[in-house]
Structure formats: structure tokens, C-alpha cells
A = this chain, B = another copy of it.
Amino acid sequence: MQTVAIVGTGLIGSSFGLALRRAGFSGRILGVSSERSLQAAIECRAIDEGATLESAASSSDLVYLSQTISAIIDTLPRLAHCLKPGALVTDAGSTKRTILQAAAPLGDAFLGGHPMAGKASRGASGAEAALFDGRPYILTPSSPDQMNLPHVRSFCDWIQRAGARLVVLTAAEHDRLVASASHLPQLLSTTLASTLEHSADPAAAASVSGPGLRDMTRLALSSHDIWKDILETNGDEIAAALAQIEDHLAVLRRDLSGPAAESSFAAGRDFSLRLRPGHQD
């Protein structure tokens, strides 16, 4: 791998560039983005220089699409005609079925990806070489065999050297799992916060709040323009996850002093502990 093109040099793309450098990548890193975003990525040393999509794609061994989902879907067909032979295209989009459909013409040259990493700040200025450290990095090959291809194995090596933990899923498995584990938490945070904002006295609710409410409304800082594409491309799985939560809340509401509450607390604690190995009271 001599040359890498990062298309979309925001937080994830720029962090990927920095993580590659930290992992020992000494080749060229090209950026494809707006002028302002390229400038920020050059300043933080995430990329070496800017380029057009076509010139970057025709000279790169890896094309890393870290744009919004809809921009990735727009970019994919433009790559079919300018890709360097043997190159790999991958993406960092938060849903995978729609993107894999759009990438079908690229065949084995495309590997779906989703690094489960991020932070509240956006843009290259927040980029960190350590962003992927210990985080799951989901890959969604179009077939199990794709994982054995040389350019895919080389990419997997770099991802692991960048500190991430590889998880291989089908696109459908991915979309179902993140609907529950990522999209649902976001929508619960947003709905909790918007319900409080529309309550009789949101300032009073804020004034008596503790660290619990603060935790529970951190995700609600996210803006709709980031989530629009996710809600559109994973609507069926998200709606199913929401319907299930509505059911469980209704069961709990009707039995607040009974066994439903007790078993919900027990199971909830069990799951919470899965995310906190070694937790002690």
C-alpha cells in the first residue's frame, strides 16, 4: 500500500489518516474534500495534500470514503471508471445495506466498513490518532470469501495496527445490530431531551438535574443533518427497535410496583455490566 486517498477529511477521515501514520504508514495520503476541510486536515497532518476524486482514485491503493452516507452513495458510481487496478475502496458509513447496494458495480473492489468510534466534536480539528484504539471496527464483506483477498487482508492489517478490533458481519446483521446498539440509544436520548424541552418548565427540569440526566442527553447534542441519512437508510430496523422499546416501556408503566420493574432492572444491570468488565459496586 503506497498511496491512500481519504475522501471526506472530517473527524473520522482525518483520524484515520493520523492513525495510519501512527501505525507506521509512510506512503502518500491524499485528501478529497472541500477546500476548508482539506486545509484543516493538512494542518493536523492527517493528509499530505488535496486532490480531485478522479486523480486520487486513479493513483491510490486504498480509497477511504469517510463522507456522509448520501455523499458516499453519490461517490461510489464515480469510482467505477477511475479506480487503480487492484485497489480497495472502503467506507466508514453508519449503515451498510444501502451502501453495499450502491457499491455492487465495484464488485470485490469494495468492502463495507463502520468504525464504532467518534466524539462530540466534528471536523479535522478534533481528529485523533487514537480514535480507533480498542474500538470495534465492523467490516461487512459482500461474501465471506472477500475477506481472503490480498487487498482486503492488507487493509485488515492496517486497521488492527491502527488499534481497532475487527468485527465481521453481513450488512443485514450490521444494520439490525446498530439499530439497537447505536441508533436506538440516539433516538432515546433525543426523545428524552426533546420531551423535557417541550415540558411545562424546561429550565426547572434542567435546574434540578443530576449527572444521570446529563449522561442521558449527551447524544441529543447530535444534529439532525448527521442522522438524516441514517434514519432514511435504516428506517425499517430502527422502527422495529423503537416499537420494541415502546412495548417494554408500556409493560413497565403498567407494573411499576410489580415484577416487571424488578426483572427489567435485573436484566438492565446485566447488560450494563457487559459494557463494564471488572465493574465493582
B252 with A206: CB separation less than 8 A: no
B195 with A181: CB separation less than 8 A: no
A227 with B182: CB separation less than 8 A: no
Residue A104 interfacial (CB < 8 Å): no
A81 proximity list for chain B (CB < 8 A): none
Main secondary structure of the interface of A (DSSP, over half): helix
Residue A190 interfacial (CB < 8 Å): yes
B215 with A218: CB separation less than 8 A: yes
Interface residue stretch chosen among A16-24, A43-51, A269-277: A269-277
Residue A204 interfacial (CB < 8 Å): yes
A249 proximity list for chain B (CB < 8 A): 187-188, 191, 242, 245-246, 249
A181 with B196: CB separation less than 8 A: yes
Per-position 1/0 for A179-212, Cβ under 8 A of B: 0111011111111111111110111111111111
A177 with B208: CB separation less than 8 A: yes
A194 proximity list for chain B (CB < 8 A): 248, 263-268, 271
A190 proximity list for chain B (CB < 8 A): 264-265, 268
Residue A161 interfacial (CB < 8 Å): no
B213 with A273: CB separation less than 8 A: no
A116-B208, A194-B248, A249-B246 given as contacts; is B272 within 8 A of A223 (CB)?
A: no
B269 with A193: CB separation less than 8 A: yes
Residue A156 interfacial (CB < 8 Å): no
Which among B122, B181, B209, B276 is the interface contact of A281 at CB below 8 angstroms?
A: B122
A185 proximity list for chain B (CB < 8 A): 192, 212-213, 215-216
Q: Please, how many angstroms separate the alpha-carbon atoms of A156 and B272 in the complex? A: 37
Residue A231 interfacial (CB < 8 Å): yes
Residue A250 interfacial (CB < 8 Å): yes
139-178 of chain A: CB within 8 A of chain B: 167, 169, 177-178
Residue A222 interfacial (CB < 8 Å): yes
A189 proximity list for chain B (CB < 8 A): 212, 216, 268, 272
Which among B121, B215, B253, B270 is the interface contact of A242 at CB below 8 angstroms?
A: B253
Per-position 1/0 for A221-257, Cβ under 8 A of B: 1111001100110010011001111101110110011
Q: Please, how many angstroms separate the alpha-carbon atoms of A110 and B136 in the complex? A: 53
9 CB contacts below 8 A, A to B, read A136-B207, A180-B195, A180-B196, A185-B215, A193-B270, A193-B272, A216-B219, A222-B269, A246-B250
Known: A195-B245, A224-B266, A249-B249. 5 other contacts (CB 8 A): A190-B265, A197-B271, A227-B265, A232-B256, A246-B246
